[in-house]
Structure 1
């Protein structure tokens, strides 16, 4: 499977060949030790290689469980490990000291000597960007991280960070993590994507299924997700959400595919998207998601989903 040419050329960070990343947000919370290992086994067996997590997910247990899996499968050289720092209670913020401390803790929990992609998790304006980027530069020079990304940054801050990086010869952000789905378009397309295109980097689309709403499983607010991780799906229940689901249902019928698969295919169709980052708490959920990895929607189907989600 080859990545979208536009996304690949603009990303600045080499994507996995398999255009789907797995989100470690559920590991250690909605997914226990056995289920996590089974989900990662299924993801890897299907061709998935990029595993995304954060130091604060489940208080660090997500990284521990991912690290245990990578170590036990002797898979470190064959996977891309991406994690985020800035929100762990033991190392909050993005001061130089906090960045170094948080990264060392991530390396320990993930049982690795380097991170393929480290993200600053959220904007922390109380710390000058120059200080944060200098700390990242030290980690890159030491070989402890290979590339730097940003998560939940505005377009303006991304542009500011690039200017500082170029003026001071500091590391650039080479990718961005942000929620992006049929139910969360305007903040990304109006603010983030223009900056991303100008900077010639790419986006990893988090929550591409809108916390599960775009699977079609949650039609009324009383529909209770199996896990608290997916309760935000209910906020999309209403006229706008139903309009999108109706359009998805028509596309899914034409494609003989699931609603979720079509929602992921829509995200992957966007030129600046490197890969959707999907939550899966079990091997069964992974199987449903990876089945969508080769799905390509027709132009009229993409246009219909664009109209329904405007």
Structure 2
């Protein structure tokens, strides 16, 4: 589904007027109970709706924290809950049994009777796609799932899934989650974008700040925190990364805003992108990110960033 489709439908993606989603990856890990609640409060107060998580994040604690927050704030009707399944130790695949088991467990942890968006997390080629899609069809028919998406799928597998869905009357993927940033353009633009255009679906851009590198805080490898969450940021320290940061600095000076805001605006400008999915472990980080949600870069600024990140 594309970013401009009607959000009133049960299978629609969230509205594009607020073009930012929060990533539950840090909840229960880098962010404790209080910090998670404060981050979600700040996100919701700023108009944020889409909360994205996965059943294996922090061993399920991410979903539990989000579920507790939704219940305590009585916010279920005002948020769009998306989770991924396929990697939790109790349901580590995408067989029909695993899908049902994982979905029921996610519903319990999130304290809800339905998921707005359920994603297959990673390709599991040992399980026929028809089996996985048929299991999802039953969950959609029961009302427990509103729409289906994929995460970390290749363009070829997305096309396979679309063909099989059409041939067998099964649900199509409505979106795909994929890392996409100024530092990770090639896999998306050479493989994924052509497929999503053909299928007329949208992309949720994960890691749009390249694990924090595009904030400009990490200039040498010793600056990068010793955490697996930031490991990939260190990989961008070098000539290519510095070229992108230099272009971001110029654009941010012209816009009088942060490097991160400009990096997110670049992602949002790309075709078929529904929203960047950002990590924020505190209310302060949320405030910095949501302040950038309406930033639109000038054509010459987008071109400068395109050239620097080629």
Tell me the distance in 2 between the aligned counterparts of 1:266 and 1:152: 21
Matches within 5 A, 1:159-308: 159-225=159-225, 228-308=228-308
Residue 228 of structure 1 and its aligned partner are, at CA, apart by 4.1
Equivalent residue pairs, number: 306
**Which blocks of at least 5 consecutive residues in structure 2 are unaligned?**
none
Q: Verify: 1:56 aligned to 2:56, yes or no.
A: yes
Q: Matched residue of 1:90: which SS? A: coil
**Which blocks of at least 5 consecutive residues in structure 1 are unaligned?**
1-5
Residue 15 of structure 1 and its aligned partner are, at CA, apart by 2.3
Q: Matched residue of 2:40: which SS? A: helix
Q: Which residue pairs with 1:103 in the alignment?
A: 103
**Cα gap change, 1:190/1:277 in structure 2, threshold over 3 Å: closer, same or farther?**
same
Matches within 5 A, 1:12-31: 13-16=12-15, 17-31=17-31
The answer to whether the 8 A contact 1:36-1:282 is kept is yes
Q: Verify: 1:79 aligned to 2:75, yes or no.
A: no
Q: Matched residue of 1:91: which SS? A: coil
The answer to whether the 8 A contact 1:7-1:271 is kept is no
Q: Matched residue of 1:103: which SS? A: helix
Q: Verify: 1:7 aligned to 2:6, yes or no.
A: no
Tell me the distance in 2 between the aligned counterparts of 1:23 and 1:242: 26
Q: Which residue pairs with 1:3 in the alignment?
A: none
The answer to whether the 8 A contact 2:224-2:233 is kept is no
The answer to whether the 8 A contact 2:5-2:12 is kept is no
Q: Which residue pairs with 1:134 in the alignment?
A: 134
Deviation readout 1:153-176 (Å, 9 max, x if unpaired): 000000000000000000000000
TM-score, normalised relative to structure 1:
0.96
The answer to whether the 8 A contact 1:10-1:202 is kept is no
Tell me the distance in 1 between the aligned counterparts of 2:12 and 2:220: 40
Deviation readout 1:70-119 (Å, 9 max, x if unpaired): 00000000000000000001100100000000000000000000000000
Matches within 5 A, 1:103-122: 103-122=103-122
Tell me the distance in 1 between the aligned counterparts of 2:175 and 2:181: 17
Tell me the distance in 1 between the aligned counterparts of 2:110 and 2:6: 29
The answer to whether the 8 A contact 2:159-2:195 is kept is yes
Q: Matched residue of 2:171: which SS? A: coil
The answer to whether the 8 A contact 1:100-1:135 is kept is yes
Q: Which residue pairs with 1:32 in the alignment?
A: 32
Q: Which of structure 1's runs of 4+ aligned residues deviate more than 2 A?
A: 9-17, 224-228
The answer to whether the 8 A contact 2:14-2:49 is kept is no
Q: Verify: 1:91 aligned to 2:94, yes or no.
A: no
Tell me the distance in 1 between the aligned counterparts of 2:184 and 2:301: 19
TM-score, normalised relative to structure 2:
0.96
Tell me the distance in 1 between the aligned counterparts of 2:82 and 2:93: 18
Tell me the distance in 2 between the aligned counterparts of 1:257 and 1:228: 28
